[in-house]
Amino acid sequence: MRQPSIGSLCSGAGGLDLAVEHVTGGRTIWHAEYDDDAAKVLGTRWPGVPNHRDITAIDWTRVEPADIVCAGYPCQPFSAAGERKGTDDERHLWPYVAQAIRILRPGLVVLENVAGHRSLGFDSVLADLAEMRYVGSWCSLRASDVGATHRRERLFITAHPYDAARDGQWSRQGPRVGTQGSTESPDRLELLPTPQSRDSRGAANPPGRVRDGRLRTVTDDALPDAVIRNLLPTPRRSDGDGGPNPLTRAERMDDVETRVIRLGGRWGKYAPAIERWESLTRPAPDPTQLSRNGKHRLAPAFSEWMMGWPLGWVTAVPISRSAMLRIIGNGVVPQQAVAALYWLLSVSEVAA
């Protein structure tokens, strides 16, 4: 069987690309990532793979077609941290992603964004996919559902041309969502704040499908719905922005840096969550490092570990600490995306 080709838009550090490669057995043939530091990570991890950079300036008629196109388009227009300006935000890049899909006509589209996208801008995405005659499925899944130490709820979407065969061609056999390797129930674990811009609040919408613009619900019990009581803050792009010493922020406990510094090197109530993720990934690195003036601050290697990325994926690339934390905070937990994709592709096959 021919290995599927993958084109990646708004690639970041490639967390979504890792998941798509794992699930489909494909190989990434190009990226489109504008950020210089993220581009350095991509160039290190996918040497020789071209980066078309600015998605707003690409002539897609001159780009090699890909069997699969994936995109983690910017979440800030739809997140609380980004003031939820939606389509009025200059960072709203979905129209450019849609243009790439319209011209390239991939056999599979994979999209990722914050959970808050469901209530802002998602209707436009569904309408555009339907107008292009793509059939889509989506679900919301938390990183903690696959064993991570933080909540980080995200929206995952798959879509394919309405007349394409759905015979399992895209998915290799994978684990059931939320069951792989975990021996502790998430509702009994204290979890760290997730690395993120800011999770939206509220109950998740049930997974659904759109067929030529008509919304259909599918089973709402197909994904686990563990009740998470206490989570570590998710890594967010602002973790590297500096600011006051975290120890002086008496009222703040919503970011990773403040939380891990106050723990003083002891995991405390988060130990079960840390140990669970260690059993699924690798030993947790030190959460803090010393700055030039001798003060403790968040270690990028710890945020990288929280996100489930391979050791040194970002932190071994010669970029600044602030750039590392920004890229990590904008990233995708590959294990979370893998679980979502296996489930979504299985739903697509059943619905055929």
pLDDT in tens, 65-77: 999 999 999 856 5
Q: Pick one of 3.40.50.410, 3.40.50.720, 3.40.50.150, 3.40.50.10610 as the CATH number of 5-181+203-224+333-351.
A: 3.40.50.150
Question: Which pLDDT belongs to residue 222?
Answer: 31
pTM of the entire structure? 0.80
Contact 95, 149 (CB under 8 A): no
Q: What is the pLDDT of residues 100-136, one digit of tens each?
A: 999 999 999 999 999 988 888 899 899 999 999 999 8
Span of 99-103, 193-197, 345-349 with lowest mean pLDDT: 193-197
- Does position 179 have pLDDT exceeding 70, yes or no? no
Q: What percentage of the chain reaches a pLDDT higher than 70?
A: 71
Q: What is the pLDDT of residues 27-73, one digit of tens each?
A: 999 999 999 999 999 999 999 999 999 999 999 999 999 999 999 99
Asked if residue 10 has pLDDT above 50, the reply is yes
Confidence band for 231, pLDDT divided at 50, 70 and 90: low
Tell whether the model's pLDDT for residue 221 goes beyond 90. Answer: no
**For residue 237, pLDDT beyond 60:** yes
Residue 332 has pLDDT above 90, yes or no: yes
- With a pLDDT cut of 90, the percent of the chain lying above it is 57
Which of 69-83, 162-176, 213-227, 325-339 has the highest average model confidence (pLDDT)?
A: 325-339
Cα dihedral 163/165/166/171 (nearest 10): -120
The reported pLDDT for the residue numbered 113 is 94
> Which of 16-30, 48-62, 192-206 has the weakest average pLDDT?
192-206
Among 10, 70, 75, 139, the one annotated catalytic: 75
- CA quadruple 5, 196, 231, 263: dihedral positive or negative? positive
Mean pLDDT of 146-155: 94
Listed residue (305, 247, 322, 281) closest to 35, CA to CA: 322
Q: Are 235 and 333 in contact (CB under 8 A)?
A: no
Residue 220 has pLDDT above 50, yes or no: no
Domain boundaries defined on the chain: 5-181+203-224+333-351, 237-329
Q: Is the pLDDT of residue 140 over 50?
A: yes
**Complete DSSP assignment for 218-236:** --TTSS------B-BPBP-
Q: Is the pLDDT of residue 180 over 70?
A: no
At 224, list the tokens.
């686990």
* Top-confidence residue, 278 or 252: 278
- Write down the pLDDT at residue 86: 47
Closest CA to 151 of 199, 203, 220: 199
pLDDT of residue 227: 34
Lowest mean pLDDT among 85-99, 210-224, 284-298: 210-224
- 3-state DSSP assignment of residue 350: helix
In this model, does residue 206 exceed pLDDT 60? no
| DSSP labels, 135-179 | EEEEEEEEGGGGT-SB--EEEEEEEEETTS--SSSS----PPTTT
C-beta atoms surrounding 65 within 10 Å: 14
Range list of β-strands (E), the chain:
5-9, 27-32, 68-71, 108-114, 134-142, 153-161, 208-211, 214-217, 288-290, 296-298
Is 139 among the catalytic positions?
no
pLDDT in tens, 263-275: 766 788 889 899 9
* Burial of 303: CB neighbours in 10 Å, binned 0-12, 13-18, 19+: buried
Mean pLDDT of the chain: 80
Give the C-alpha separation, 118 to 136, whole Å: 14
